[in-house]
Amino acid sequence: MPRRYTTIAAEIAAKINQLPVVEGDAFRAGDILVSFDCSLQQAQYQKAEAEVDSADQTFKSNQRLAELNSVGLLELELSRSGLAKAKAELQANKAVLDKCKVSAPFSGRIAEQKAREQQFVQLGQPLLDIIDDSVLELEFLVPSSWLSWVRVGGGFQVHIDETRKTYPARFTRLGARVDPVSQSIKVVATINGKFPELMAGMSGRVQINSPK
């Protein structure tokens, strides 16, 4: 299994414009995985920018008039509040606009593509399953009696069914509790080295030599 994996979901309701990386392809952290058609959101952002400019001009004008005692304090404060409100609206629109492109949180590969280009998606709809397969981990159960000698960092071999090859591995984590029914505990190990033929989802048999 991959060390890191997640599902990328839509943070806005919009039409998918591009999916630059397709199922099975590799990507780097920061690469654009999904881009949406955000012409409406862009227009709303530009409108908010214009409203900030207008509110700023009104506030500055009232400031000058206040220096000449030609405007009341209440009107000055209202224009100040109007400027703050316009700036807040601009930031809100910018936050929405930033969601029009989805960047990769880590380097990895596309495990499954759940949506297509030109498809309209809803808020929260899953788009892509991504995995970081730079480090592959093994999960399996061992007898709880082995806790007397199994240690993090200890090495062993694992035979993978799909490749029919044996690979070196080492223990990286031990489970937090023992299953009292089966008297076993889950352990996690890591494949030592890079082997291009290995993929997430493969299975096999661990070969561990217990001490005499």
Query: Are residues 136 and 178 in contact, defined by beta-carbon separation less than 8 angstroms?
Result: no
Q: What is the pLDDT of residues 17-68, one digit of tens each?
A: 999 998 989 999 999 999 999 998 999 999 999 999 999 999 888 888 887 8
For the cut 80, the answer to whether the pLDDT of residue 71 exceeds it is no
3-class DSSP assignment, residue 138: strand
Give which of 139, 140, 158, 143 is closest to 210, Cα–Cα.
143
Q: 73-98 and 39-67 are packed helices; what angle lies between their axes, rounded to 10 degrees?
A: 160
Q: What is the pLDDT of residues 106-131, one digit of tens each?
A: 999 999 999 999 999 999 999 999 99
Which pLDDT does position 212 carry in this prediction? Answer: 65
Give which of 103, 121, 113, 125 is closest to 37, Cα–Cα.
121
pTM, entire model? 0.74
Residue-range domains of the chain with CATH: 40-98 (1.10.287.470), 133-207 (2.40.30.170)
Which pLDDT does position 133 carry in this prediction? Answer: 85
Output 71 or 118, whichever has higher pLDDT. 118
